[in-house]
Amino acid sequence: MYKSSQERMPIYEALQKYKDTRIVPFDVPGHKQGRGNKELTQFLGESCMQIDVNSMKPLDNLCHPVSVIKEAEQLAAEAFGAKHAFFMVGGTTSSVQAMVMTACKRGDKIIMPRNVHRSAINALVVCGAVPVYVNPGVNKELGIPLGMSYEDVKAAILENPDAKAVLINNPTYYGICSPLKRITELAHEYGMLVLVDEAHGTHFYFHDELPVSAMSVGADMAAVSMHKTGGSLTQSSFLLINNNVGEGYTRQIINLTQTTSGSYLLMSSLDISRKNLALNGKEIFDRVIELASYAREEINKMGGYYAFGKELINGDTIFDFDVTKLSIHTRDIGLAGIEVYDVLRDDYDIQIEFGDIGNVLAIISVGDTDLAIERLISALAETKRRYLKSPSGMLDHEYINPQVAMTPQEAFYADKRSIPIEDSTGYICSEFVMCYPPGIPILAPGERITKEILDYIHYAKMKGCFLTGTEDIHIEHINVVKE
């Protein structure tokens, strides 16, 4: 890439010019550069409100870019080594859904790990594609799902040679990476597209010591959460395409669901953050790796906790590990991850990314300081001192292999009835049940409800996990397919 080109920020520059020209707005939004909503302007600031604008000729149009947005997309593609990059303002959820719907039509098969984010299964509900689930490996000591095994993917491909695509989580929420290059090459041998949910892998593109990125190994599409580790505003994302994936058709798919009123706050944050990563990414992630590695070492010294890392690598289901992820196993101190999550927030004013049944995850970024890391380490040590107890009787796994009885679309739109969740064993689920974050379904539409799953849901509720997905907000009833 040319450094000079990456110094450009076309959307940011166009917005600055717009502000300087003192345009009188007779278009939307109705707050008219903040003048019509004083409280919001005081809260967000005049600079922010002045660039919360609608599409116009000098600022281009996200649905059909021809000038500054188009140029910004080209610079992003160059920075990420892609054929094209789309600015996405509906989060990486919209990027994942666009990938699936670009690759698959109604009835087409798609091979994917079952521990996908709900956005991927939502895409199946919308477009009618049929999932071929590859159950991930499971680390029994940590209780977490792992990556996709090469042999398991190969078996799925051989059993379903008519599948259109393979979708891969890389990395998982916990930092686990699959053998991405080998799976990509295998899928291409059978004429299948490779789609990568890279929501937690933005930084892979900007540091040689981190796991390989989707575009670098020849994957066809990747959904990249710039807001998670790339510095942009929440809800902003890139969708990258490669090889023979058509730019025009992909944009048509995106425009089926993405807003026609793209936020210039989100787009400019992508533009500015891309420049920062392209020019300074190596130094930024040197610092992140240093902070995360120090924290991992100190946490492991105190005992009880296990901040896991590259020692888990096995060349297959844990092909590589993202060392910027501070994933910490908590069960050995007698606390579920969600309980540690709550203690850190309620007692120490520390907000971490998520806690589940056995682990917590702290996201480390360039925005962190040495002092903040020390505060986290101290709070974990205090939590252990105050609450340490025997782990006996604790649930020891996060992932349960599903029994798939119907496609997600068939089950979601089927005739259904609501029954008490404790009476639902044996029925086919017609909706989602999941803990958020991370948003990986415990149950998805079309899966048979088992006693093991109900025990898990009961345990998660008891421990304080935030359960979502059901029509009944209290998760006391569940929609099942009428039989």
4-19 tens-digit pLDDT: 599 999 999 999 999 9
Cα(424)–Cα(418) distance, integer angstroms: 9
Looking at residue 309, what is its pLDDT? 97
Are 382 and 296 part of one and the same domain? yes
Cα(88)–Cα(96) distance, integer angstroms: 11
What are the φ/ψ torsions at residue 86 (nearest 5 degrees)? -105, 135
Asked whether residue 108 is domain-assigned, the answer is no
Flag whether pLDDT at 399 surpasses 80: no
What does DSSP say about strands 237-241 and 306-307: parallel, antiparallel, or unpaired? unpaired
Binned at pLDDT 50, 70 and 90, residue 49 comes out as very high
CA 138 to chain centre: 20
Are 294 and 383 part of one and the same domain? yes
Asked whether residue 181 is domain-assigned, the answer is no
Flag whether pLDDT at 1 surpasses 50: no
Cα(447)–Cα(451) distance, integer angstroms: 13
Asked whether residue 37 is domain-assigned, the answer is no
Asked whether residue 427 is domain-assigned, the answer is yes
Are 375 and 421 part of one and the same domain? no
The number of folded domains in the chain is 2
Structure tokens at 165: 């695509």
Cα(89)–Cα(11) distance, integer angstroms: 14
Structure confidence by residue, pLDDT tens digits, 371-391: 999 999 999 999 999 999 998
Structure tokens at 38: 């004083």
Looking at residue 341, what is its pLDDT? 97
Q: Give the domain extent around 413.
A: 408-481
Looking at residue 4, what is its pLDDT? 55
Which parts of 236-357 are beta strand (E)?
A: 237-241, 306-307, 320-321, 325-329, 354-355
Structure confidence by residue, pLDDT tens digits, 277-309: 999 999 999 999 999 999 999 999 999 999 999
Cα(321)–Cα(330) distance, integer angstroms: 19
Are 415 and 369 part of one and the same domain? no
Looking at residue 23, what is its pLDDT? 87
Structure confidence by residue, pLDDT tens digits, 437-472: 788 899 999 999 999 999 999 988 888 888 999 999
| Average pLDDT, integer, range 343-372 | 95
307: CATH: 3.90.1150.10
Flag whether pLDDT at 395 surpasses 90: no
Q: Is 168 helix (H, G, I), strand (E, B) or coil?
A: strand
Cα(276)–Cα(33) distance, integer angstroms: 27
Cα(342)–Cα(32) distance, integer angstroms: 41
Are 354 and 430 part of one and the same domain? no
% pLDDT > 90, the chain: 88
Asked whether residue 157 is domain-assigned, the answer is no
Binned at pLDDT 50, 70 and 90, residue 22 comes out as confident
Flag whether pLDDT at 354 surpasses 60: yes
Are 419 and 382 part of one and the same domain? no
b vs e for 407-423, b when ≥16 Cβ sit within 10 Å of the residue's Cβ?
A: bbbbbbebebebeebee
Structure confidence by residue, pLDDT tens digits, 95-153: 999 999 999 999 999 999 988 999 999 999 999 999 999 988 889 889 889 999 999 99
Asked whether residue 39 is domain-assigned, the answer is no
Structure confidence by residue, pLDDT tens digits, 426-439: 999 999 999 877 88
Half-sphere exposure of 17 (CA within 13 A, CB side): 10
Are 383 and 292 part of one and the same domain? yes
Are 379 and 436 part of one and the same domain? no
Last residue of a domain, one of 387, 418, 440: 387
The pTM for the full model equals 0.95
Are 377 and 296 part of one and the same domain? yes
CA 30 to chain centre: 33
DSSP state of 462: H
* H-type alpha helices, 399-446: 408-413
Last residue of a domain, one of 387, 418, 443: 387
- Judged by average pLDDT, the poorest of 118-127, 316-325, 392-401 is 392-401
Are 334 and 380 part of one and the same domain? yes
Last residue of a domain, one of 387, 416, 433: 387
Average pLDDT, the chain: 95
Q: Would you give the end-to-end CA distance of the chain in angstroms?
A: 59
> What H or E segment, with its residue span, contains residue 46?
helix 46-50
Are 327 and 419 part of one and the same domain? no
Flag whether pLDDT at 54 surpasses 70: yes
* Cα dist from 6 to 239, 271, 461, whole Å: 18, 10, 48
Q: What is the dihedral sign for C-alpha 450, 451, 457, 460?
A: negative
Looking at residue 397, what is its pLDDT? 73
Closest to 419 (Cα-Cα) out of 359, 370, 470 = 470
Structure tokens at 408: 């997600």
Cα(259)–Cα(355) distance, integer angstroms: 32
DSSP state of 217: G
430: CATH: 3.90.105.10
Structure confidence by residue, pLDDT tens digits, 142-183: 988 999 999 999 999 999 999 999 999 999 999 999 999 999
Asked whether residue 421 is domain-assigned, the answer is yes
Are 383 and 412 part of one and the same domain? no
Planar angle of CA 130, 115, 466, nearest 5 degrees? 120
Cα(364)–Cα(374) distance, integer angstroms: 13
Half-sphere exposure of 355 (CA within 13 A, CB side): 21
Flag whether pLDDT at 253 surpasses 80: yes
Flag whether pLDDT at 396 surpasses 80: no
b vs e for 311-322, b when ≥16 Cβ sit within 10 Å of the residue's Cβ?
A: ebeeebbbbbbb
Asked whether residue 468 is domain-assigned, the answer is yes
Maximum separation of any 2 CA atoms in the chain, in Å: 68
- Cβ neighbours for 198, distance < 8 A, ≥ 6 positions apart: 170, 204, 213, 214, 222, 223, 224, 225
